Amino acid sequence: MRVLGLDVGDRRIGVALSDETGTLASPLPTLERVGPRQDLKAVAALARAHGAREIVVGLPRTLAGEIGPQAEKVQAFAQALRPVAQVPVTFWDERLTTVMAERALIEGEVSRRRRKGLVDQVAAVLILQSWLDARPRAAASDPTA
């Protein structure tokens, strides 16, 4: 089952996609935000094009675990996305994923200019991969499956 992962920001939406087994997340091109309706349609179109059965949206909680202004914007986006995408939309705690993505790109010696375009992609991959890793693996733990 393929799953789409999103890192929703004010200017861009980082996108990642799982493989068919739901094991590995890979980046897709980042979407530039152009307007609420167009953004929702673009994400829904990606989900359909890739056969995603679920969308995982990173929820940027504060370090204290609370819902701040940015998380409220992301929740509103996800709520509006549900009827357009017509697949389940799930939240996943994304605290510090952008910081981790930025560090990974710096360690990889990616230039500052190139990092700007990649950080949202890498953050989306981190969000989706952590969600995939946290899911129960009933089939993997059942030797008869």
In a domain, 12, yes or no: yes
Quote the number of domains for the chain.
1
In a domain, 37, yes or no: yes
Question: Is 52's pLDDT higher than 70?
Answer: yes
Buried b (16+ CB within 10 A) or exposed e, 33-57: beeeeebbebbbebbeeeebebbbb
* 99-128 tens-digit pLDDT: 666 677 667 766 666 666 677 888 899 999
In a domain, 145, yes or no: no
In a domain, 144, yes or no: no
In a domain, 51, yes or no: yes
Question: Is 10's pLDDT higher than 70?
Answer: yes
Global pTM reads: 0.84
CB 127 within 8 A of CB 92: yes
Question: Is 57's pLDDT higher than 70?
Answer: yes
3-state secondary structure the chain: CEEEEEEECCCEEEEEEECCCCCCEEEEEEEECCCHHHHHHHHHHHHHHHCEEEEEEEECCCCCCCCCHHHHHHHHHHHHHHHHHCCCEEEEECCCHHHHHHHHHHHCCCCHHHHHHHHHHHHHHHHHHHHHHHCCCHHHHCCCC
Q: Which domain holds residue 25?
A: 2-135
Question: Is 26's pLDDT higher than 60?
Answer: yes
In a domain, 80, yes or no: yes
Question: Is 58's pLDDT higher than 60?
Answer: yes
In a domain, 27, yes or no: yes
CATH of the domain at 11: 3.30.420.140
CB 39 within 8 A of CB 87: no
